[in-house]
Amino acid sequence: MADESNAGPVAAPVATDAEVKGATAKKRRPPRPQKAASDPAQSKTPATKRRGYSEQERSEKLSLIETQVGDGKTLQDAIKSAGISEQTYYHWKGAGKPGEQKAGNSTKSLPVGDELADLVQLEEENQRLRKRLAEKLRAENAELRKRLGLD
């Protein structure tokens, strides 16, 4: 019986040794390398650098594209031959329009009274058109009910 009581404590330290070995045998990862894009000046290549165009260069490229399209070339081909993207083309073209509109508005500005009169006139026309549409829809509904025999 003394042997049985001695076997108990001997088994317990063996189990703890296995637990310790399991904890120390765990693999450790090496630290992660730094990302290359942390320095923006080094990550940009000369091909991806943004190039600013002057107003003269923009207008020249836009006029070149317009002439090529007028000669029968497709818009996409003309844009590619100018060396810009489609998005840039539309951005430049859209940016030119508000400047032209501003210049037109500054020379032909209406007095406040005229603007109010125009607004009242538009509202009256809107009401008149709504009434016409309502009458037309009522007539169509009556015609459909007649055809379906619902009246």
The separation between CA 138 and the C-alpha centre of its own chain, rounded to angstroms, equals: 43
The answer, as to whether pTM is greater than 0.75, is: no
Domain ranges (residues) in the chain: 53-109, 110-151
The per-residue pLDDT for range 56-114, each reduced to its tens digit, is 889 999 999 999 998 888 899 999 999 999 999 999 888 876 555 555 455 556 677 78
Q: Are 86 and 96 in contact (CB under 8 A)?
A: no
Contacts of 76 (CB under 8 A, 6+ apart): 86
Tell me the C-alpha to C-alpha distance, in Å, between residue 75 and each of 53, 59, 60, 84, 97. 20, 16, 16, 12, 19
Q: What would be the CATH architecture of the domain defined by 53-109?
A: Orthogonal Bundle (1.10)
Q: Are 53 and 61 in contact (CB under 8 A)?
A: yes
Would you mind telling me the total number of residues written for the chain in this entry? 151
